[in-house]
Amino acid sequence: MLSALLALLLSYWLRRAWLAASAATLALVLTVTMGLVWPRPDVGGTPVRLMTYNVKAYLAARHGGGFDRLAQEVALHHPDILVMQDAHEAHRGSDHGVFKSGPVFGYPHVHAVDQYVVASRFPLRDCALRRIGWRAEELAYVHCVVEAKGRELDLVTVHFESPRSGLNAARREGLEGAADWQRNFRERLDQSRALAGALAQPLAGRRRPLVLAGDLNAPESSSVIRTLLALGLRDAFSTAGRGYGYSYGQALKLGFSFLRIDHILVSAEIGVAGCFVGNGEASEHRPVIADLLLRP
């Protein structure tokens, strides 16, 4: 955006055609390149609010009141279904007592395993941590069936590989670090393809709608997300959000969010009445909240 703005300022002393071209470039950057979304909400259906949140529980455990701030953020949005990633310390033992009372663990139905927590006001069944082999690694994700207001839906939450190591390598080592960056991207793409493959067969004969939510560590334009969208899913924020919906970046040196890497993806049977991001004070990630519409 800054580069396009600078070009617009410099073109002031050139011919009008250059000024117009620079203005058009800036407009293109502010809309298409930066992912501006204008809402096209769905209507009709039974409302259910779902929230996905990478809580970075290990950081909350290091700071006094860290879990209280997470609980306050959840209470602020009052989701019917909450999925969390990076939640190891939140349900490991009872040292912090995070889920003993209050809005976070006050949900009547909870499944907590590995780094994941699924908490719901509706009954959960058949919850399981599933692992997919990809190359020499494994991808772990959680699947639950949610019985919500007389309807059932498949709920999947997952956390893809972080791009941090690849980006740091490229930043510190320049072109020599580009290979690490590319390898990091391929790992996330392989994870996405593995998950899509695991979901593809159930999707083909499935009768229940599907919600896939989590920290996918990639923007919607990435092949990582496009692989999942090819299953017939759509991004909740792109459907009914407003603005940019950035969920990550405020904890970095720049001090503001500039990436939309946390997503809620839904199958065609589920409507989306609205979608927005929460605050960035309690975690390095902002939560993403979607008002879904369950249809008969």
Per-residue tens of pLDDT for the chain, all 296 residues:
788 888 878 887 888 888 888 888 888 888 888 788 888 999 999 999 999 999 998 888 888 888 889 989 999 999 999 999 999 866 654 444 455 444 456 789 999 999 999 999 999 999 999 998 766 578 999 999 999 999 999 999 999 988 765 455 445 555 555 677 688 788 889 999 999 999 986 555 567 999 999 999 999 999 999 999 999 999 999 999 999 999 998 777 777 788 899 999 999 999 999 999 999 999 999 999 999 999 88
Asked if 220 and 263 touch (Cβ cutoff 8 Å), the reply is yes
Domain ranges of the chain: 1-34, 37-294
Write down the pLDDT at residue 216. 96
CA distance 283 to 58: 10
Per-residue pLDDT at 102: 43
Amino acid in the structure at residue 187: E
Q: Which two tokens stand for residue 60?
A: 């909350």
Distance CA(289)–CA(263), nearest Å, equals: 9
Three-class SS state of 214: strand
Question: Distance between CA 78 and CA 221 in Å, rounded?
Answer: 30
Cβ–Cβ < 8 Å for 135, 190: yes
Q: What pLDDT, on the 0 to 100 scale, is given for residue 210? A: 95
pLDDT of residue 29: 81
* Domain spanning 37-294, CATH class: alpha beta
Query: The pTM is what?
Result: 0.87
- CB 155 within 8 Å of CB 187: no
CA distance 285 to 59: 12
Q: What is the chain's alpha carbon radius of gyration, rounded to the nearest angstrom?
A: 20
Predicted local distance difference test score (pLDDT) of residue 18:
83
Residue 207 CA to residue 269 CA, distance in Å, equals: 10
Q: How far apart are CA 83 and CA 153, in angstroms?
A: 14
* Integer CA distances (angstroms), 245 to 53, 186, 230, 234, in order: 14, 25, 22, 15
Residues 20 and 7 sit within 8 Å (Cβ to Cβ)? no
